[in-house]
Structure 1
Amino acid sequence: MKKKRPDRREGRGSPPGSSRPGTSWHGARRVSEKPAVEEIATMTIDRIAKGGDGVGRANGMACFVPRTAPGDVAQVAYVAHARHGRGRVLQIVTPSTHRVDARCVHYERDHCGGCQLQHLDDETQRDARRHIVQDALLRIGKRTIELPELVTGESWGYRGRLTLMLLPRGRGWTGGLHPHDDAARVFALDECPIANPVLVQCWFDMRERLHGMPTDRFLRVSFRLLSADSGQETVAVVVQGGESWSGGAEWAAALLRASAPVRAVWWLPRGGEPVGLAGDVATDGAAGGLGRQFEAAEAGHYEPDAREALAFAQVNPTVATALRDFVFASVQAFAPARVIDAYAGSGELTERFARDGAEVVSIEADASGAAATRRRVEEAGLGDRVQVLTALVESALASALPADVVVLNPPRVGVATGVTTLLEQAASRGVRGIVYVSCDPATLARDLARVPGWRIDAVRCFDMFPQTAHVETVCVLRPETTT
């Protein structure tokens, strides 16, 4: 008999196979737990919190309720925890004037987890994202700022990448996304209004040909917009999962014939390196980066990686360009002779700083990203101005100093404590500015609290992910002693 896989929703102490609700395990002894008891309350939603939940109060306790809008009066079933409650809507008693009908059929019908704010009008969404940043900096970072500016772009059809889960069903596969309230399930995707339409069309072309995929308990597939050749948008497809795929090349060739926009098909086997299966795989030199975005992701989570803004996977190219321009201008304002580009990705900013005349130390732990940077600067004839380090920032930063400006673009978890400790002392080593690019306001605020010797000179937000609660933020810091 096949051994049952542990349920990921079980308690941390549960042994394999123990899926009985209301129990936990301490050693060999099973201890009964009372199931969570829901309480009912009618509340007014005051604001949108990080993550996209509406926040109201029940019996004096802050209660987080998904898919609610500021101004909603809602009857909610909630579970009280130590300091807050988490609830679900039973009915909207009085809808907010900020509510709109969701454009995507999956948002309400399937509880799609890809978006959190489609039920809000654009202005309310943007205001919520600005307040999320301001509130995090005050509450966690103990920094008071004005409500930051938000650079916006298109609200729909903006995504240059569509990533779907494939789960076995019978002899075939179901491909789509997870509901926000059930990460074990996948619903079949029929539309995605936030994605570039050509990506959705490529998915339609592919889902007719899901037979012959590699065997695994689940797969991921990503459609990534590459470019527009002669006015036609082109797409790379990456399939992740499985350990062997004997018919992969034939399957990929068939997909290229069936879907005109698809120009390259890659396969990322579990635990292996990316394999170019068909098409012009040379058009996507950052294949390793395409794979890494999957390796870092957990099923059911749609948070963007910080590197999406500046490196491999530009989900929103228009706003990403504005973000890069702001970072470059912020660095340029210091007139630096030497710049450290930390968490540098594939080196787009590294090249730009070097072209502007600066010496650059580029630090990137991912070997494929560092290799892409080396190729980029050598091809641009800038190799004598750039030193590329394949290393963790916390290991390499001390030896990379001194510098005039340090650029940070860390992953969602923020920077290591060793980095902030070093930066707190960096002004004495000649650093005149820090430019921090963040995709998580909470970890940005935490890291700012660790460098009290630096004051905020500018904060600007970038609306990289409309219809979601995610926001990119660029924070420019100067030493407190600077006049």
Structure 2
Amino acid sequence: MPTAPETRSVGIPCGYFDAGTCRSCTWLPLDLPTQLERKQSAVATALAAHVGPGAWEPPHPSRPSGFRNKAKLVVGGRRGAVTLGILDGDGLGVDLRDCPIHDPVIADAIPRLAAAIDELGLTPYDVARRTGELKHLLLTVSPDGELMARFVLRSEGQLRRLEAAVPDLLAAVPGLRVVTANLQPAHAAILEGEQERVLSDADHLPMRLPSAALRLGPRSFFQTNTAVAAELYRTATEWATATAPSSLWDLYCGVGGFALHAAVAPARPARVLGIELSPEAIEAARATAAGLGAEAEVRFVAADAATATAEHGRPDVLVVNPPRRGIGAALTTWIEDVAVPHVVYSSCNPTTLARDVAELPSYRVERARLFDMFPHTAHAEVLVHLART
């Protein structure tokens, strides 16, 4: 992907970028139309061997600010005066609580939660000294303006203090619904640990999209840009159901976004199967499916999507939404061997997408579309529809 010159912010006003405090949004020197044009050109070049110019549909843009439904904030500073943002080169906290890409509900919640952390006396983790407790504050907002707040702690040392403060936190932060403590004891650049304790009565965040309301657990994956994600689901559902398939599989399904949208589509398949490694995500997907009242038969299985396919036959349409590493050789070989008629592939990494498509020589890309899930950066979300030749 091309890089942008390090000048002043143009995409949106950002004092942090202009001051050199934070350069995470590397493309801020470019206005949004130019960003989208360059991003489209870059992904078209990366996929040129497989996607002809006529297959590209118009890219779907994002709003320039207030689009991010997640905040992953490093806790720094000192007890009673925390910073929420990132760490500098010396491991010291840099406060970014006014970051303009955060959803307005998150932007309103951050200073309230900072004040609450100070009042509670929670001790920020000091990377250099390996002391302290609170490492990260992870926030997620739903389309309804409800919030999930996850406090990542080094140990249980201040857990009781946090747990006792939950009623006050819920009262102080409008929309706060879910509060959890995540334990991450390792001195490593790891965002969260394996152990999560729900401290509030509510244990999930409803993500009500136009066609389905998903259930987001504390450690469940959801796209960072809700409005763009809704269009991604809509487009994938349209492409996947265009041939009136009898069966559809959603691999790496997470909380079931693609599968559940397909299950309630006007041209829905009779049978829908979602496969995901995370048992928590599968439990959430099953709970959502139970409340949909869908006419389709909908099942979710907790298994490795790359290896579980042989147990379930073959779908008419396969939807895949893998991590950045792509689907890999085992799955592309299976797709070729069983001759799946249609594959809809959602990718956040055009490089591994191009590699995987190259390993599917019996398929042609009929349609492709860029979704600007991550404005002001070179990152791209791409959806392609492959048909068996």
Per the alignment, residue 343 of structure 2 pairs with: 434
Per the alignment, residue 368 of structure 1 pairs with: 280
Secondary structure at 1:152's aligned position in 2? coil
Matches within 5 A, 1:256-275: 256-270=170-184, 271-275=193-197
Matches within 5 A, 1:79-94: none
Matches within 5 A, 1:345-356: 345-355=254-264, 356=268
Per the alignment, residue 221 of structure 1 pairs with: 137
Does the aligned pair in 1 maintain the 2:79–2:122 contact within 8 Å?
A: no
Secondary structure at 2:146's aligned position in 1? strand
1:457 aligns with 2:366: yes
Does the aligned pair in 2 maintain the 1:341–1:408 contact within 8 Å?
A: yes
Per the alignment, residue 277 of structure 1 pairs with: 199
- Deviations for 1:318-340, whole angstroms, at most 9, x for unmatched residues? 11111101000001112110111
1:205 aligns with 2:117: no
The 1:400–1:156 alpha-carbon spacing in structure 2 relative to 1, beyond 3 Å, is: same
Q: Of the candidates 141, 150, 153, which is equivalent to residue 59 of structure 2?
A: 150
Partner Cα distance (1:435, 1:378) in 2:
25
Partner Cα distance (1:333, 1:240) in 2:
44
The 1:183–1:420 alpha-carbon spacing in structure 2 relative to 1, beyond 3 Å, is: farther
Q: Of the candidates 234, 246, 252, which is equivalent to residue 160 of structure 2?
A: 246
Does the aligned pair in 1 maintain the 2:141–2:148 contact within 8 Å?
A: yes
Partner Cα distance (2:171, 2:289) in 1:
36
Q: Of the candidates 177, 187, 202, which is equivalent to residue 86 of structure 2?
A: 177
Which sections of structure 1, spanning at least 5 residues, go unmatched? 1-47, 55-65, 69-94, 293-311
Q: Of the candidates 398, 404, 407, which is equivalent to residue 316 of structure 2?
A: 404
User: How far is 1:361 from its partner?
Assistant: 1.8
| Alignment: residue pair count | 359
The 1:342–1:384 alpha-carbon spacing in structure 2 relative to 1, beyond 3 Å, is: same
Which sections of structure 2, spanning at least 5 residues, go unmatched? 128-133, 185-192, 208-213
Does the aligned pair in 2 maintain the 1:104–1:191 contact within 8 Å?
A: no
Does the aligned pair in 2 maintain the 1:434–1:477 contact within 8 Å?
A: yes
1:109 aligns with 2:31: no
Does the aligned pair in 1 maintain the 2:277–2:304 contact within 8 Å?
A: yes
User: How far is 1:478 from its partner?
Assistant: 0.8
Amino acid at match of 2:25: C
Per the alignment, residue 38 of structure 1 pairs with: none
User: How far is 1:290 from its partner?
Assistant: 3.2
Does the aligned pair in 1 maintain the 2:248–2:317 contact within 8 Å?
A: yes
User: Which has the higher Rg, Structure 1 or Structure 2?
Assistant: 1
- Deviations for 1:71-98, whole angstroms, at most 9, x for unmatched residues? xxxxxxxxxxxxxxxxxxxxxxxx9xxx
Per the alignment, residue 319 of structure 1 pairs with: 228
Partner Cα distance (1:414, 1:173) in 2:
38
Does the aligned pair in 2 maintain the 1:439–1:473 contact within 8 Å?
A: yes
Does the aligned pair in 1 maintain the 2:10–2:29 contact within 8 Å?
A: yes
1:473 aligns with 2:382: yes
Percent identity of the aligned residues?
A: 27
Amino acid at match of 1:199: I
Partner Cα distance (2:138, 2:82) in 1:
15
Does the aligned pair in 2 maintain the 1:220–1:240 contact within 8 Å?
A: yes
Partner Cα distance (2:122, 2:347) in 1:
37
Secondary structure at 1:208's aligned position in 2? helix
Per the alignment, residue 187 of structure 2 pairs with: none
- Deviations for 1:251-296, whole angstroms, at most 9, x for unmatched residues? 333322322232332212224433222364455598874335xxxx
Matches within 5 A, 1:327-366: 327-355=236-264, 356-366=268-278
User: How far is 1:155 from its partner?
Assistant: 1.2
CA-based RMSD of the aligned residues comes to 2.7
- What is the TM-score when the length of structure 2 is the normalising length? 0.83
The 1:250–1:369 alpha-carbon spacing in structure 2 relative to 1, beyond 3 Å, is: same
1:234 aligns with 2:146: yes
Partner Cα distance (1:67, 1:158) in 2:
23
Partner Cα distance (1:259, 1:333) in 2:
44
